[in-house]
Structure 1
Amino acid sequence: MPMSLNFDDFEQPALQPVTPRPAPAAATPATPAAPLRGVTGNVTHPSMAAVRVQDKRIVNGQGDINQLAPFKYPWAWEFFLNANKNHWTPLEISMAQDVHDYQHKLSPAERHVFENVLAYLTTSDILAMRNIGLAVMEKMSAPELQIYQARQVYEEALHTWTYQHCIESLGIDQQEIYNRYRVVPEINAKIALANRRLERVMRSDFDLADRDNLHEFALSYMFFGGIFEGCWFYNGFTPIFALQRRGLMKGTAEQLQYIMRDEVLHCAFGIRVVRELLKEENLTLDPRAVQQLWEEAEAAESGYAGYILREPILGYSADLHRAQFRFIANRRARQIGLAEPFPGAENVLPWLDEQANLRKEKNFFETRVTEYQTGGALSWD
Structure 2
Amino acid sequence: MSSSAPLTPRSSPLTPRLLDPGFELTLRPMRYPRFYEMYRNAIRNTWTVDEIDFQIDSSDLHHKMSPADRHLIHRLVAFFATGDSIVSNNLVLNLYQHLNAPEARMYLSRQLYEEALHVQFYLTLLDNYLPDPGERAKAFAAVENIPSIRKKAEFCFKWIDSLQDLRRIETRDQRMQFLLNQICFAACIEGLFFFAAFAYVYYFRSRGLLPGLASGTNWVFRDESCHMEFAFECVRTVRAEEPDLFDERMKAQVYRMLEEAIDCELQFAEDVLSGGVAGISTRDMRQYLQHCADQHFAKLGMEKRYNVRNPLPFMELQDVQELTNFFERRVSAYQVGVQGEVSFDVAF
Correspondent of 2:108 among 149, 166, 172: 149
Per the normalisation by structure 2, the TM-score is 0.84
Letter of the 1:200 partner, please give it: S
Correspondent of 2:146 among 163, 166, 184: 184
| Partner of residue 271, structure 1 | 232
Letter of the 1:168 partner, please give it: D
User: Would you tell me which structure has more helix in proportion to its own residues?
Assistant: 2
| Partner of residue 349, structure 1 | 312
- Give the deviation of 1:371 after TM superposition: 4.8
Verify: 1:296 aligned to 2:260, yes or no.
yes
SS in 2 for 1:84: helix
Structure 2 unaligned segments of length 5 or more: list them.
1-11, 324-331, 339-348
| Partner of residue 83, structure 1 | 42
CA contact (8 A) 1:117 1:237 kept: no
| Partner of residue 160, structure 2 | 198
Distance 1:168 1:188 in 2: 22
- Give the deviation of 1:228 after TM superposition: 1.1
Distance 1:239 1:217 in 2: 31
Distance 2:63 2:53 in 1: 17
| Partner of residue 130, structure 1 | 89
The structure with the largest alpha-carbon Rg is: 1
CA deviation profile, 1:236-291 (whole Å, cap 9, x unmatched): 11111111111111101111111001011000111111111122123114232122
Distance 2:187 2:45 in 1: 21
Distance 1:314 1:371 in 2: 36
CA deviation profile, 1:178-216 (whole Å, cap 9, x unmatched): 1122111111111100100111213243x4211112111
Verify: 1:218 aligned to 2:179, yes or no.
yes
| Partner of residue 338, structure 1 | 302
Deviating more after overlay: 346-355 vs 297-306? 346-355
Q: CA RMSD in A?
A: 2.1
Verify: 1:228 aligned to 2:192, yes or no.
no
| Partner of residue 281, structure 1 | 242
CA deviation profile, 1:149-206 (whole Å, cap 9, x unmatched): 010011111101000011112325320111122111111111100100111213243x
Distance 2:35 2:101 in 1: 10
| Partner of residue 52, structure 2 | 93
- Give the deviation of 1:115 after TM superposition: 1.0
How many correspondences in the alignment? 312
- Give the deviation of 1:53 after TM superposition: 10
- Give the deviation of 1:339 after TM superposition: 2.1
- Structure 1 stretches of 4+ moved >3 Å: 356-359, 371-374
Deviating more after overlay: 175-184 vs 80-89? 175-184
Distance 2:78 2:256 in 1: 27
Distance 2:88 2:116 in 1: 7
Distance 2:337 2:221 in 1: 15
| Partner of residue 333, structure 2 | 369
- Give the deviation of 1:312 after TM superposition: 3.1
Distance 2:337 2:310 in 1: 27
CA contact (8 A) 2:203 2:314 kept: no
SS in 2 for 1:347: coil
Letter of the 2:271 partner, please give it: Y
